[in-house]
């Protein structure tokens, strides 16, 4: 609430209207709309959910599917056909994906805002589907390297753009459920990869192509079709919502913008400049979020690539059984992240979820390596996959809820997903083919990563609590908005 003595004179001079000034100092209720009732607001938001989350989730599903299918193809015969089992060839093929994926994160975050999500995302999804089909015609393991690099370059624009777009549409306490729904649809790609690959591999010999080649052909076609669907159904940013075919009216779009501004005052967008875009690089918490994401993705990527191999070589399952058993861990992860999203939005806290998921990942890793019964080892794989997969949307929302500003969101999505790609590089290096079947260096690295997640989360939450208390005394402005409070304010 404002006082007679302005604690932030520089900010006050830029606000001419007393009501607008008061809005800067008092946290508003996003549901307190002057035009729509609560029921009408929920109807509009559900309309956004159906259109935005489903299509983005399908795009993310084929992204995960197309990353994981190389491991499914390896089990289905590609390793023998292309001599991938020699030395570190398989790890090299996995590793080269991440160099362009990391480098192109920042340009992609700028491009999606300037070109618009419909054109940008639909185009890159369609193109990587075409490249995925090309994998089916590889005659040497070396030819997989440029193809994987192209896939990495195209997918660099997908995840950060989707995350940026979703966080632009929802208020902070609506965000986790929606991010979880988007991400669990995406995880469906990983969940179905084993079963789908098993079914497709039965086409072995059709048109004189091996089963593993058909995996790339069919899944590449699926990706192309979803990319084409994006040109018709993809949603743009809220300020362009009324221009999207069959979506919101101009009044409904204006409501979404009002809702975001009541929550955090950042629905608008300044003209682009590199100075504005790079300014968040000086904020230490941005890199804290990114490091947590790096540690999480290191495990998630590694499990995705090596789970089928571990099931076959360490646990002794047949190729067909391995493909089938690759699915249940991701189904459990989908259920877990949905429940956590619902609970976390109710309690307005994210950090307990990060702790819980890290602890079950640690438990799962120990069961996978230091037990000998295949059933117990497989249960460990379920815990590990569930914990690291469910932590990914948690970290995304943990970050999104504690920053504000359109260009800061663009920078933060790129920095976080970029370091996430670096986690994939680390995972490819520590989970080495020559360390099969237990992959102990990778297991030790994953255990360390979970410890780092717990430590960094604790540091950030304590810092947030201290900043909130300083802001209440008028000593600091958080995220350039006097009414803004970081989410994790109840720990101390």
Over the stretch 429-461, which tens digit does the pLDDT of each residue have?
887 767 777 788 888 999 999 999 999 999 999
Structure confidence at residue 4 (pLDDT): 36
Buried b (16+ CB within 10 A) or exposed e, 446-456: beebbebbbeb
Asked whether residue 3 carries a pLDDT value surpassing 50, the answer given is: no
Structure confidence at residue 12 (pLDDT): 36
Structure confidence at residue 15 (pLDDT): 43
Mean pLDDT within 386-409: 88
Asked whether residue 380 carries a pLDDT value surpassing 60, the answer given is: yes
In this prediction the pTM is: 0.78
In a domain, 65, yes or no: yes
Please count the structural domains in the chain.
Answer: 1
Which tokens go with 304?
A: 């995705």
Query: What does DSSP assign to residue 487?
Result: S
Q: Which residue has the tokens 């015969």?
A: 77
Which tokens go with 250?
A: 């101009």
How crowded is the C-beta side of 69, counted as CA atoms within 13 Å? 34
In a domain, 35, yes or no: no
Average pLDDT, the chain: 84
Asked whether residue 262 carries a pLDDT value surpassing 50, the answer given is: yes
Asked whether residue 261 carries a pLDDT value surpassing 80, the answer given is: yes
In a domain, 137, yes or no: yes
Mean pLDDT within 2-28: 45
Query: Using 50, 70 and 90 to split pLDDT, how confident is the model at 223?
Result: very high
In a domain, 32, yes or no: no
Structure confidence at residue 267 (pLDDT): 67
Structure confidence at residue 8 (pLDDT): 38
Q: Which residue has the tokens 């018709």?
A: 232
Task: Give CA separation, 246 vs 46, 51, 225, 255, in Å.
Answer: 14, 10, 20, 17
Alpha carbon distance 362, 450 (integer Å): 7
Asked whether residue 18 carries a pLDDT value surpassing 50, the answer given is: no
Which tokens go with 180?
A: 């979880």
Mean pLDDT within 11-16: 40
In a domain, 28, yes or no: no
Mean pLDDT within 133-147: 94
Alpha carbon distance 473, 297 (integer Å): 38
Query: Using 50, 70 and 90 to split pLDDT, how confident is the model at 488?
Result: low
Asked whether residue 25 carries a pLDDT value surpassing 90, the answer given is: no
In a domain, 365, yes or no: yes
In a domain, 8, yes or no: no
DSSP notation for 159-225: HHHHHHHHHTTS-GGGHHHHHHHHHHHHHHHHHHHHHHHHHHHTTTTGGG--HHHHHHHHHHHHHHH
Structure confidence at residue 21 (pLDDT): 47
Mean pLDDT within 158-176: 88
Percent of the chain with pLDDT over 70: 90
Alpha carbon distance 423, 379 (integer Å): 24
CATH of the domain at 225: 1.20.1250.20
Query: Using 50, 70 and 90 to split pLDDT, how confident is the model at 395?
Result: very high
Task: Identify the burial level of 300 via C-beta atoms within 10 angstroms of its C-beta, where 0-12 means exposed, 13-18 middle and 19 or more buried.
Answer: buried
Percent of the chain with pLDDT over 90: 36
Query: Using 50, 70 and 90 to split pLDDT, how confident is the model at 295?
Result: very high
Q: Provide the CA 434 distance to its chain's centre, in angstroms.
A: 30
For residues 22 and 478, the answer to whether their CB atoms sit within 8 Å is no
In a domain, 18, yes or no: no
Containing structural domain, residue 154: 51-237+280-480
Query: Using 50, 70 and 90 to split pLDDT, how confident is the model at 484?
Result: confident
For residues 475 and 17, the answer to whether their CB atoms sit within 8 Å is no
Q: Which residue has the higher pLDDT, 313 or 396?
A: 396
Asked whether residue 246 carries a pLDDT value surpassing 50, the answer given is: yes
Within 8 A by CB and 6+ apart from 191, the residues are 327, 330, 331, 333, 334
Q: Which of 152-161, 243-252, 395-404, 429-438 has the lowest mean pLDDT?
A: 429-438
Task: Give CA separation, 263 vs 29, 201, 225, 463, in Å.
Answer: 7, 50, 37, 22
Structure confidence at residue 1 (pLDDT): 34
Q: Which of 208, 62, 56, 32 is nearest to 131 (CA)?
A: 62
Structure confidence at residue 6 (pLDDT): 39
């Amino acid at each position: 609430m404002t006082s007679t003595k302005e604690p932030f004179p520089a900010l006050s001079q830029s606000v001419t209207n007393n009501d607008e000034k008061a809005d800067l100092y008092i946290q508003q209720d996003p549901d307190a709309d002057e035009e729509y009732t609560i029921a009408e607001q929920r109807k509009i938001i559900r309309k956004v959910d159906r259109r935005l989350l489903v299509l983005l989730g399908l795009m993310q599903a084929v992204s995960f599917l197309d990353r994981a299918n190389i491991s499914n193809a390896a089990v289905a015969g590609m390793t023998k056909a292309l001599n991938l089992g020699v030395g570190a060839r398989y790890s090299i093929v996995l590793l080269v994906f991440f160099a362009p994926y990391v480098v192109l994160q920042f340009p992609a975050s700028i491009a999606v805002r300037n070109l618009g999500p419909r054109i940008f995302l639909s185009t890159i999804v369609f193109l990587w589907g075409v490249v995925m089909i090309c994998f089916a015609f590889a005659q040497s393991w070396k030819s997989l390297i440029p193809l994987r690099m192209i896939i990495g370059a195209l997918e660099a624009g997908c995840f950060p753009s989707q995350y940026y777009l979703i966080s632009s549409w929802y208020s902070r306490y609506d965000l986790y459920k929606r991010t979880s729904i988007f991400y669990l649809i995406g995880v469906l790609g990983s969940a179905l990869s084993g079963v789908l690959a098993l079914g497709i591999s039965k086409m072995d010999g059709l048109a004189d192509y091996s089963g593993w080649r058909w995996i790339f052909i069919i899944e590449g076609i699926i990706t192309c079709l979803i990319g084409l669907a994006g040109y018709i159904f993809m949603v743009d940013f809220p300020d362009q919502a009324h221009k999207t075919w069959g979506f919101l009216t101009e009044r409904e779009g204006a409501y979404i913008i009002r809702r975001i501004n009541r929550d955090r005052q950042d629905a608008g967008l300044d003209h682009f400049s590199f100075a504005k875009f790079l300014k968040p690089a000086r904020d230490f918490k941005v890199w804290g979020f990114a490091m947590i994401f790096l540690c999480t993705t290191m495990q998630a990527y590694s499990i995705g690539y090596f789970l089928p191999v571990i099931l076959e070589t360490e646990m002794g399952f047949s190729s067909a059984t391995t493909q089938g058993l690759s699915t249940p861990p991701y189904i459990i992860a989908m259920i877990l992240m949905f429940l956590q999203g619902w609970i976390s939005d109710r309690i307005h806290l994210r950090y307990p979820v990060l702790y819980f998921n890290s602890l079950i990942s640690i438990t799962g890793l120990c069961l996978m390596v230091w037990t000998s019964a295949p059933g117990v080892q497989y249960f460990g794989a379920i815990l590990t996959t569930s914990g690291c997969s469910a932590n990914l949307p948690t970290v995304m929302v943990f970050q999104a809820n504690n920053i504000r500003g359109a260009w800061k969101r663009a920078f933060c999505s790129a920095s976080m997903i970029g370091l996430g790609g670096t986690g994939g590089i680390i995972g490819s290096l520590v989970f080495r083919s020559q360390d099969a079947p237990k992959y102990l260096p990778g297991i030790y690295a994953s255990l360390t990563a979970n410890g780092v997640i717990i430590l960094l989360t604790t540091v950030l939450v304590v810092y947030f609590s201290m900043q909130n208390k300083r802001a209440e005394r008028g000593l600091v402005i958080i995220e350039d908005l006097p009414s803004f409070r970081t989410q994790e304010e109840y720990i101390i």
